[in-house]
């Protein structure tokens, strides 16, 4: 017999004695908008539920000055029926939090909340006070310089904290700075759950660092000689216990070179450190890295590759030697069997040929290297398991077909598009698409 859960996923809706499997509206998203854009509406998808399950709607609005954060989750639930309820956890002016929750079983698609109207009202006009506070509402972290606003009259303290909304394994961390009428860290007013989400709050800024975030790739000759600018436009809020990291990996095979940069958060328990390492060469293939771990907001702010290049040896150009080798460095693919063959520099005696998987910092991709080396050298992965944020895993030769690259353990696939974007310019900034934090947009649309 096919399990009920499988039939539900296939869209089969049928009756068991006294119980009907419901069809519910489905949607999850998190978004920050300007208050002037409210009210908002959305178009949900649909989901067939397990027999006996109900439909639920949960919407949370966090307002702060000119900004509002919306978190919506709707779908099937085992929870008991609950009449539609609006709760004001913290009322404005200043920072306010209001939620809507509803669980129903009386008909298909009964969780029919499709706009913010039940929670939204025009802001109350208030006289300005004397206090000015930094104002920010963001899931990416506040910028290094936060704009200030004049607080409403009666507000005497500036708030600085993070709100955590967790549903299953998915969490949203919302950074909040703004005006409050009294000191303290209790925006939820004692609430621990809102619908299917657990909610909590932390006002120790050192527990949740904000770090620069982005993955940057350069591919062109001479990257070991001339520095390039290294800036990213993104940021992220780290989990408690994490620190900021920045990593540069340089591979130079002579005729071509690759420089890969990552900024973001590093794993829990990492200690502050900074170092430059030469993993291979010179002469011949040069593999070197710069890594930094630090524990203050936006401390991973190196803005050029000179932090790596200034620490590398600068030997004079060697004379030609007696060995010839193919040379190639290729991310997201294997080096061609017809790679350019060059005369190796004096002091090198062997050819190097290696393919590994780089994982970490938002990347999972094969990396192939060919070139000249001074002595017989095993795979990079045999000597190193990690280079900064990146882990290194060997690919066996028989598995080097591009369709057979392994996935990361957490299910993140390689990034095959990297191989064709190299012609778009001298460098490419790849924005990280997600880290498992925040709710994925599953609705068809959201519009003011």
* Sequence-separated (6 or more) residues with CB below 8 Å from residue 265: 209, 211, 213, 236, 238, 239, 242, 243, 244, 245, 435
pLDDT value for 386: 86
pLDDT at 429 over 60: no
**pLDDT single digits (tens) 288-317:** 999 999 999 999 999 999 999 999 987 777
The pLDDT value recorded for residue 333 is 78
Q: Is the peptide bond before 39 cis (omega within 30 degrees of 0)?
A: yes
- Pairwise CA distance, residues 440 & 29, whole Å: 6
Q: What's the rounded mean pLDDT across residues 153-158?
A: 93
Phi, psi at 77, each rounded to 5°: -155, 150
pLDDT reported for residue 409:
29
Q: CA-to-CA distance for 214 and 244, rounded, in angstroms?
A: 12
Residue 226: strand, helix, or coil: coil
Task: State the average pLDDT over residues 433-447.
Answer: 34
**Which residue blocks in 366-420 are alpha helix, DSSP H?**
380-383
User: What is the spatial distance between Cα 170 and Cα 405, in angstroms, rounded to a whole number?
Assistant: 27
For residue 299, CA distances in Å to 4, 138, 212, 294, 303 come to 52, 19, 8, 6, 11
CA distance linking residue 184 with residue 202, whole number of Å: 11
Which phi and psi (to 5°) does residue 383 adopt? -105, -25
- Would you state the structure tokens that stand for residue 210, as one six-digit string? 């904000």
Neighbouring residues of 5: CB distance < 8 A, sequence distance ≥ 6: 50
pLDDT mean across residues, the chain = 82
Residue 83 above 50 pLDDT?
Answer: yes
Q: What is the pLDDT of residue 126?
A: 82
pLDDT band at 19 (very low <50, low <70, confident <90, very high): low
Closest C-alpha to 424, from 224, 226, 220: 220
Diameter over CA atoms, the chain: 87
Out of 198-212, 331-345, 355-369, 386-400, pick the least confident.
386-400
Q: What is the pLDDT of residue 396?
A: 60
pLDDT classification of 47: cutoffs 50, 70, 90: very high
Least trusted range by pLDDT, from 7-21, 321-335, 421-435: 421-435
Burial of 338 per CB tally in 10 Å (0-12, 13-18, 19+): exposed
What is the reported pTM?
A: 0.73
The phi and psi torsions of 320 (rounded to 5 degrees) equal -65, 145
């Amino acid at each position: 017999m096919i399990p009920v859960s499988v039939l539900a996923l296939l869209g089969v809706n049928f009756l068991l004695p006294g119980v009907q499997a419901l069809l519910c509206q489905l949607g999850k998203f998190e978004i920050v908008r300007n208050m002037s854009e409210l009210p908002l509406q959305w178009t949900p998808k649909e989901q067939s539920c397990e027999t006996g399950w109900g439909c639920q709607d949960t919407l949370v609005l966090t307002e702060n000055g000119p900004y509002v954060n919306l978190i919506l989750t709707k779908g099937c639930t085992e929870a008991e029926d609950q009449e539609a309820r609006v709760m004001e956890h913290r009322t404005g002016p200043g920072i306010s939090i209001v939620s809507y929750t509803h669980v129903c079983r009386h008909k298909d698609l009964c969780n029919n909340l499709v706009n913010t109207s039940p929670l939204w009202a025009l802001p109350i006009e208030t006289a300005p006070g004397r206090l000015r506070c930094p104002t920010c509402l963001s899931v990416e972290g506040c910028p290094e310089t936060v704009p200030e606003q004049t607080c409403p009259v009666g507000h005497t303290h500036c708030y600085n904290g993070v709100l955590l909304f967790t549903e299953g394994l998915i969490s949203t961390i919302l950074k909040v700075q703004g005006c409050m009428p009294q000191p303290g860290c209790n925006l939820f007013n004692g609430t621990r759950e809102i619908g299917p989400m657990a909610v909590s709050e932390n006002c120790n800024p050192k527990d949740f660092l904000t770090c620069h975030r982005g993955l940057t790739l350069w591919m062109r000759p001479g990257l070991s000689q001339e520095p390039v600018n290294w800036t990213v436009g993104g940021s992220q809020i780290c989990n408690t216990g994490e620190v900021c990291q920045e990593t540069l990996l340089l591979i130079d095979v002579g005729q071509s070179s690759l420089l890969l940069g990552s900024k973001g958060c590093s794993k829990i328990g990492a200690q502050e450190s900074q170092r430059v390492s030469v993993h291979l060469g010179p002469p011949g293939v040069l593999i070197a890295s710069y890594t930094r771990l630090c524990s203050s907001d936006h401390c991973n702010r190196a803005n050029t590759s000179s932090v790596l290049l200034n620490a590398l040896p600068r030997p004079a150009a060697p004379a030609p030697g007696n060995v010839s080798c193919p040379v190639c460095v290729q991310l997201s693919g294997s080096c061609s069997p017809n790679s350019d063959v060059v005369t190796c520099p004096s002091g090198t005696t062997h050819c190097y040929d290696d393919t590994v998987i780089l994982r970490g910092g938002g990347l999972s991709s094969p990396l192939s290297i060919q070139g000249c080396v001074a002595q017989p050298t095993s795979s990079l992965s045999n000597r190193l398991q990690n280079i900064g944020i990146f882990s290194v895993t060997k690919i066996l030769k028989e598995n080097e077909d591009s369709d057979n690259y392994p996935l990361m353990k957490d299910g993140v696939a390689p990034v095959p598009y990297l191989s064709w974007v190299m012609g778009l310019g001298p460098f490419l900034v790849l924005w990280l698409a997600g880290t498992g934090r925040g709710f994925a947009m599953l609705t068809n649309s959201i519009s003011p």
